[in-house]
A = this chain, B = another copy of it.
Amino acid sequence: MHFRPYDELLARAYQVTLLGGAANVLDWDQQTYMPLKAALTRADQLALVRGLIHRRATAAPIGELLKACEDHGFEPGSDEAANVREWRRDYDRRVRLPQKLVEEFERTSTLARVAWAEAREKSEYVIFQPYLEKILQLTREKAEHWGYEDSVYDALMEEYEPGIRTSEIKKLFAQLRPSVIELFKQAKASDFTRKSLAGHYPIAGQKALNQAVAEALGYDLQAGRIDATLHPFSLNLGTADCRITTRYDETDFTVSLYALLHEIGHGLYEQGLVAENYGTPVGETASLGIHESQSRLWENKVGRTLAFWENWFPIAMNYLPEVARLSPELITRAVNHVAPSFIRLEADEVTYDLHIILRFDLELQLFESQLDAADVPAAWNEEFEKLFGVPVPHDRFGCLQDIHWSLGSFGYFPTYTLGNLNSAQIFARARQECPELDHQLGKGSYRPLLHWLRQKIHVQGRRYLSQDLMKFATGESTQIHYQMEHLRQKVLNPLLEPDTTAAIKANEKESYVRSTPEPARAG
C-alpha cells in the first residue's frame, strides 16, 4: 500500500535530515574539541552544508510530490497525514527564501558570531553593532519573504514555535509581568544564597556525580555523551546521538549539576523520539517551547526540591567530601534563592521570565517599531533597571550577554517562557495522573515520570503543533497559573513540595494561548 510520491518524499526528507545531522556534528565539534585556528574553514564548511540542505529541501520536485500527497489524502490522525502537513509547512517557508539570501545569512551570522564574541569579551557594543544591523536587515528580508498577517514578528516566531502569534505572547506577558514582579518583591528577604554552598569541589568528583545522576534519570550514555563547554547545550547529531554539555565551577558543584539537569531534560526528549520515524516530522521534536518544558521540568520541578536532595545528598558526599558540611535543606534553599541578576543564564526560577520579557519587548521594538541597533544598549539598560531595580554596569552584563542575536535568532526568546509555563503545567498533570509520582520521586525513582513524558510528549514527535500537544498531554493549552502557583509556593517555603492541585483547582481558567487548528490543507 505504498504511495510513490510519499515514498519519494520520505527518501528526500531522510537525506535532508542526514545532512542536518552532519551539520550538527560540525557544530558540536566546533563547540567542544575543534582546535582554535580551525574556525575559519569550519565556518565555510558549515555554510556550505547548510546551503546544500536548503537547496535539497526546496528542490523542484518536492512541491509536486507534496501536492500529489495532499490530493491523495491520508487518513486523518495517521503518521502520513501529520508528515505531509508538516512537510508542507516547512517547504512553504523554506521555498520562499532565495538560495542567495540563505547563503548570505549563513556567512553573515558566522562573522557576526565572531564579532559578538569579541564585543562581549571587551564589553564594547560598537564592535557588534554593524553586524547586528546587517543581521537585522537580512532577518527583515527573510520575514518579508516568509510573509505574515498581523506582525512581522509572527513570521520570526513561526521558526521556533509554529502556530504561535505575537498577539498571544503579548497578552501572556502582560499578565505575567506584574505577577512575577510582585512575587520577586516578596522573595527578596531570603538569606540562603548560592554563596552558602561555596567550597572546593574537584571536577573529577563533579563529573562522577553528574554521570550517576544522568544514568538515574534515564539518559542513555550509549546514545549520547556529556562534555564540558563554557556555554552548556544539547544537540541532536543523528538518531541515537543526542549529546549534552555542562560547565564546571570548582567552588560550586550545583552549577554543573543544574546545567546538566537542564540539558538532560532536552536529551531525554530527543532520546524518546521514535527511532523508526527518524527523518520525518513525527520523528522530530514539536517546538522549542515544548523542548524547553522538558529541560525545565527536570531542572526545576524535579531537581530543585528537598526530595531530590534527600536522595542525592549522601551520594554527592561520596563523590565530593566537602558536601558533608552542607545539608539537603541548605542546598535546597540555596538553589531556590531569588535575587536580581544581570545574566539570564544565572537567573533563579522567579526572575528568569523578567529577562525574557525584556528581550521580547526589545525585539518587538526592533521589528515592529523603529528602534535602531545603535539604541539597543540604552533601551536595554533603561528597561533592566525598571524591572530589576539595579543599573547595568556594562554591556557585557547587558545586551551583549546572549548569542542569539548574532545568530539571527529573533523570536526565539519567548519559547523560554513558554517552556517554563509548560513545564509547570505538564508536571502538575503528571502528578494528577500518577498518584504515586511524589512517592516515587521521593525514593529517587525517576523512570515512572520519564515513562509518562515519553507517552504524552516524546513519542508524539511533531504529530501535534505545540498547543495541540499541550492539550493532548494536559487537557488545555498553555496556562500561566500552574507556574505562578509553583513559584508562589516556592517563595513561601522552598522546602515544601508545591501543591499543584491548588493551581488545578484555581479558577483562572482563561486560556492564554489559543490552540491552533490543523491547517485546512492537511489530509
Find A22's partner among B22, B33, B224, B241 (CB 8 Å cutoff): B22
Contacting pair B21 A241 (CB below 8 A)? no
Across the interface, do B38 and A238 meet the contact criterion of CB distance under 8 Å? yes
- Assess whether A390 is interfacial by the CB under 8 Å rule: no
The residue on B at minimum CB distance from A23 is: B22
What's the Cα separation between A22 and B52 when bound, in Å?
13
Inside 8 A of A240's CB, which chain B residues have their CB? 35, 37-38, 40-41
Task: Determine which of B35, B221, B238 lies in contact with A45 in the assembled complex, contact meaning CB atoms within 8 Å.
Answer: B238
Least CB distance from A42 to B in Å reads 6
Partner of A48, one of B15, B41, B222, B224: B15
Beta-carbon contact of A29 and B35 below 8 Å: no
Q: Given A38-B237, A241-B34, check contact A29 B18 (CB 8 Å).
A: no
Give bound CA distance, A278 to B38, whole Å. 12
**Contacts A25-B45, A52-B52 given; does A241 touch B38 at CB 8 Å:** yes
Q: How far is the CA of A21 from the CA of B44 in the complex (A)?
A: 10
A239-251 interface code vs B (CB 8 A; 1 in, 0 out): 1110100000000
Could you give, for residues 45-75 of chain A, a 1 whenever the CB lies within 8 Å of some chain B CB and a 0 otherwise? Answer: 1001100100000000000000000000000
Kindly identify which residue among B15, B35, B222, B223 contacts A241, using a CB–CB cutoff of 8 Å: B35
When C-beta atoms are compared, the residue in chain B nearest to A38 turns out to be B241
- Given A35-B222, A48-B19, A238:B25 Cβ within 8 A: no
User: What are the interface flags for A195-234 relative to B under an 8 Å C-beta threshold, 1 for contact and 0 otherwise?
Assistant: 0000000000000000000000000111111010000000
Contact status of A49 and B22, CB under 8 A, knowing A41-B278, A42-B238, A241-B41: yes
CB of A37 within 8 A of CB of B225, answer: no
Chain B residues with CB under 8 Å of A495's CB are: none
Contacts of A237 in B (CB 8 A): 38
Q: How far is the CA of A26 from the CA of B237 in the complex (A)?
A: 10
Say whether B225 contacts A33, CB under 8 Å. Answer: yes
Cβ 8 A contact of A35, one of B15, B38, B48, B221: B221
| Chain B nearest CB, measured from A203 CB (Å) | 14
- Whether A520 is near chain B, meaning CB under 8 Å from some CB there, is no
CB-defined contacts of A34 to chain B, threshold 8 Å:
241
Report A280 CB to chain B, min CB distance, Å.
14
Most buried by B among A29, A40, A221, A224: A29
Do B18 and A44 touch across chains, with their CB atoms under 8 A apart? yes
Tell me whether A189 is interfacial, beta carbon within 8 Å.
Answer: no
CA distance A223 to B41 in the complex (A): 12
Q: Are B238 and A41 in contact (CB under 8 A)?
A: yes
Cα separation A224 to B51 with both chains bound (whole Å): 27
The contact string, 1 if C-beta is below 8 Å from chain B, for chain A 68-95, is 0000000000000000000000000000
A29-B29, A35-B221 given as contacts; is B15 within 8 A of A239 (CB)?
no
- Bound form: Cα–Cα A138–B503 in Å: 67
A36 within 8 A of B: yes
CB-nearest residue of chain B relative to A33?
Answer: B225
CB distance from A267 to the nearest CB of B (A): 11
Of all chain B residues, which has the CB nearest A15? Answer: B48
| 17 further interface pairs, Cβ-Cβ under 8 Å (given A33-B227, A37-B223, A42-B238) | A18-B41, A21-B45, A22-B49, A25-B26, A28-B29, A33-B33, A34-B241, A35-B224, A35-B241, A35-B243, A36-B223, A37-B222, A38-B239, A40-B239, A41-B240, A41-B278, A45-B238
List the interface of chain A (C-beta within 8 A of B): 14-15, 18-19, 21-22, 25-26, 28-29, 33-38, 40-42, 44-45, 48-49, 52, 220-225, 227, 237-241, 243, 278
7 contacts between A and B (CB under 8 A): A14-B44, A18-B44, A33-B33, A33-B227, A36-B223, A37-B241, A38-B239
